[in-house]
Amino acid sequence: MQSGPPAPPFRPPKRTQPSNNKEKDINLSGSPHPNHPNMSQTRSSANESMGFKGQLGSVSRARLHCVVSEEDKIPYIGRKGIPTQNVLAICDFDMLFTYFVAGWPGSVHDNRILKDAMEDPKKYFPHPPEGKYYVVDVGYPNMKGFLAPFKGERYHVPDFRRSTQPPNGFYEVFNYSHSSLRNVIERTFGVWKKRWRILSIMPSFPLETQKKLVAATMAMHNYIRRHALEDLEFDKCDADPYYIPEVEGDVDIGGNPVTTLEEHDGSMDDFSMESIRYNIATSLMSR
């Protein structure tokens, strides 16, 4: 969701036309948080002051426990040996979901889900306009409209914070700043999952109902963010930019939170994005 003039008042999310695939996709939109009317502009300005001009938000995936029939279970089995569904989501820097696709089996790679959403016109993916981009982790290519970190270097904020060694050198300085920016989606997923515990202990609903629960809880998450006078988890996130809620029973816990475990091979990397990444890293090193 781009910063700029306030959007019209909140409207309930409009269901997109169903695609031929069974995955559920939806665009979520609405007005800024009423208690912080300039939040988007303020955070966007702060991000740009770090050198990340043109950022729109962050793209990542979350894995959720799901219930499927025995005959359909195999592709849904993830690394922890339990059935999960993959949810691809985009959030802005106000911790609002702006788009998601739910229902992919847990074994499917993140980049395949993103590629399908981008290429299928019925998925209504919000492609970044010229000069804009989403920040993504190493599981996605550094392709046009998507800014990824440098592979093979320290990346995640918790890794830096646990270490006595500060970010060192061209690649680590960039990765630390990139991760600090991208962790908004980890925090957003954390608040969402902690509030709606049904996502971690999914009842035996039909899979289509489970996907509808993703849509409903994301819409309510956005509504609370925009309209709640007080909210404990959002208040903690606003007070501490590194706070990520811990969710008991979360199938994403273990390793780096809500991030991809596989690195992309670089075959889809784009020269223009490599130039943007290099220029940002150079600017950060000169400070």
Per-residue pLDDT of the chain in tens (287 residues, 90 and over written 9): 444 433 333 333 443 343 444 456 666 654 444 444 444 554 555 565 568 989 999 999 999 999 999 999 999 998 788 999 999 999 999 999 999 999 999 999 999 999 999 999 999 999 999 999 999 999 999 999 999 999 999 888 888 888 888 888 999 999 999 999 999 999 999 999 999 999 998 999 999 999 999 999 999 999 999 998 889 999 999 999 889 998 887 877 543 444 444 555 556 778 999 999 999 999 999 88
Which residue blocks in 6-149 are alpha helix, DSSP H? 39-49, 110-119
The pLDDT of residue 40: 53
The pLDDT of residue 12: 39
The pLDDT of residue 48: 58
Domain boundaries, the chain: 39-247+267-286
The conformation of residue 76, written as its DSSP 8-state character, comes to G
The pLDDT of residue 78: 80
How would you class 244 by CB atoms within 10 Å of its CB: exposed for 0-12, middle for 13-18, buried for 19 or more?
buried
What is the Cα–Cα distance from 144 to 68, expressed in whole angstroms? 36
The pLDDT of residue 9: 37
The pLDDT of residue 3: 40
Among 106, 129, 101, CA closest to 116: 101
Phi then psi dihedrals of residue 228, to 5 deg? -75, 135
pTM (whole model) above 0.85: no
The pLDDT of residue 269: 75
